[in-house]
Amino acid sequence: MSEKFSLQDLKDANDAILKTDKSDRPYLVQHDNETMVIGNANNTELKKSDFRIQFRFEKDELASIPEEAKVINKRWVLIEKEFNDIFIAPKDDMKVVEACFNIYPFFAWYQEVQDNMDKEVSEIEERYGAKFLDNGKTTAKDENVAKNMLKERDIVSENYARIVLHEYNYGNAKGNMSDGIYDFVAIVLGIDDWTKEHMSAPSVLSAFIRMTEAFPEVFQETESLFGLNSIEEAMK
């Protein structure tokens, strides 16, 4: 996770959600008035995890400034807090599931956008007869061809980054990712509404990704509860 919010952060979050389908961590579902265990019933360990969140406050919002806080430009106060031995309590289970469900539509939409961007990048490669490399270079032997390829890919990436960032912040009829992911993280960590508004976006996404790894059963439970066979069905 980078210190600054980036499109890569959202891609990492999307990949993390997709990986939850492979988990066999058990969870409970109600079916015909019976409680059933889905997943590996032999896995009885209570999973607890640690998380770190950065908060940003206006100096005037705080009655006092903690010693460990960092004050920027005599105005902003940055505070990092550790949340240890976190697990999802039964009373918060449905709250977390609801927050999770509100996140799904964004990532279903995001996957479509990512596929379209990958298609445009592939079209650039086909047009120039060369491939992009992971080190920021291309297989093109001609320097001008390589420069033109990279320039065109940068334009495509910037256009899609602008679209994704707007969707993350404002959403549409299918949901608002920014509010949904803030709610999800705040519920799991027991953070109140006022304090939630001061969490930094990079630390929230970082915590969210770690939560998908720590509590994958939440996402599977959400799919079961709402009849979702996969994340793509949230688009319907």
Going from N- to C-terminal start, the domains of the chain cover: 7-27+88-235
Strands 34-38 and 49-58: unpaired
How far is the CA of 131 from the CAs of 137, 139, 149, 156, 158, in angstroms? 9, 5, 9, 16, 19
The one-digit pLDDT tens for each residue of the chain (236 residues) are: 445 567 778 888 888 888 877 776 766 666 566 666 666 666 667 788 999 999 999 999 998 998 889 999 889 999 999 999 999 888 888 888 888 888 877 887 888 888 999 999 999 999 999 999 988 899 999 999 999 999 999 999 999 888 888 888 776 555 567 888 999 999 999 999 999 999 998 899 999 999 988 888 888 777 766 655 444 444 44
- Among residues 202, 219, 218, which one has the least CA distance to residue 93? 218
Distance CA 113, CA 109 (A): 6
Distance CA 41, CA 17 (A): 22
Contact 41, 56 (CB under 8 A): no
- Among residues 76, 232, 103, 97, which one has the least CA distance to residue 177? 103
- Name the H helices within the chain: 7-19, 93-128, 143-170, 177-189, 193-196, 201-214, 216-225
What's the pTM value of the predicted model, to 2 decimals?
0.76
